[in-house]
Amino acid sequence: LATGAGDLLYVNAAYARLHGLTRERLIGRSLYDFVPADQRPALKRRIEQSLAERQPLQSKNQVDTPEGRRWVLWTNLGFDDGRGGVMLHSVGRDIHAQVETETRLRESEARFRLIAEASPDVIMTLDRNLRRTYVSPACRELFGEEPEALIGHETGRKSHPEDFARLRGAMRSLLDGRAERHVCVSRRRHKAGHWVWLETCYRAVRDPATGAVSSLVAISRDITERKTAEAKLTEACERLEALAGQDGLTGLANR
């Protein structure tokens, strides 16, 4: 409980423990004394808004404690003090662990996007319905399509008819938990109309809380040149085998 200017009139035991002081030593001090200087203007604006509107408003800021700075979520409510002034009622909840987790998650996502967007391979994430939830920019060169045109659509629909069932079976085995990783070689139609040979590594992603497979990650690379070279090598071997079985002078089959 504080005055409209932020001077503390009452604090409970939890607030006192947060700051490592007795309740008596906190009364009369300003609540802004425990807020980092760069965050005070924003907090002051939110409190003034709550005092003016007489409606509960939430604000999030750090507070200085003996153990360091911690994030607290406040619900502030302004009300009349009965003497023509206003008072502030604040209830705070320690959300430091939640904010740190969210920060680490954002940093992890940023690193993933940096790696994905710099890679020449196409990186995709798929939900349990095999719809794409993320596609890296490399799809522009490999598939001739923009990421936005692929996100939200089911994967595999532009695969070669001879490869579709095998690809779908591999992905289903990952979703069912029967496998953790599959490497598949298949063909996909480019937007320009030709077929592109792909080597795709599919991996299951499990929910850390339940252990159930929640999504898939797929990394595809263009192996068209390799497949072309393999085809030429196979053809050359077949010609050599045919020549080895034929007499060069008479053209008749060797015994």
pLDDT, residue 85, reads 84
Ordered DSSP codes for 125-186: EE-TT-BEEEE-TTHHHHTSS-HHHHTTSBTTTTB-HHHHHHHHHHHHHHHTTS-SEEEEEE
pLDDT, residue 209, reads 85
pLDDT, residue 246, reads 67
pLDDT by residue for the chain (255 residues), tens only, comes to 999 889 999 999 999 999 999 999 999 999 999 999 999 999 999 999 999 988 899 989 999 999 899 999 999 999 988 888 899 999 999 999 999 988 888 888 888 787 778 889 999 999 999 999 999 999 999 999 999 999 999 999 999 999 999 999 999 999 999 999 999 999 999 999 999 999 999 999 999 889 999 999 999 999 999 888 887 888 888 777 776 776 666 666 666
pLDDT, residue 96, reads 92
pLDDT, residue 249, reads 62
pLDDT, residue 138, reads 94
Q: Which residue has the tokens 């799809």?
A: 139
- For 146-185, what is each residue's pLDDT tens digit? 999 999 999 999 999 999 999 999 999 999 999 999 999 9
pLDDT, residue 167, reads 94
161-165 contacts, C-beta under 8 A, 24 or more apart: 162/187, 163/187
pLDDT, residue 24, reads 93
Of 120, 118, 148, 154, nearest to 135 by C-alpha is: 148
d(CA 195, CA 186): 10
d(CA 36, CA 231): 68
Q: Which residue has the tokens 């992905």?
A: 171
pLDDT, residue 254, reads 66
Ordered DSSP codes for 201-249: EEEEEE-TTT--EEEEEEEEEE-HHHHHHHHHHHHHHHHHHHHHTB-TT
Burial 24-63 (b: 16+ CB within 10 A, else e): eebeebebbebbeeebbeebeebbeebbeeeeeeebbbbb
Q: Contact 79/54 with Cβ under 8 angstroms?
A: yes
Which pTM was predicted? 0.59
186-191 contacts, C-beta under 8 A, 24 or more apart: 186/159, 186/160, 187/159, 187/160, 187/162, 187/163, 188/143, 188/158, 188/159, 188/160, 189/158, 189/159, 189/160, 190/143, 190/144, 191/143, 191/144, 191/145
Q: Contact 41/47 with Cβ under 8 angstroms?
A: no
- The letter for the amino acid at 43 is L
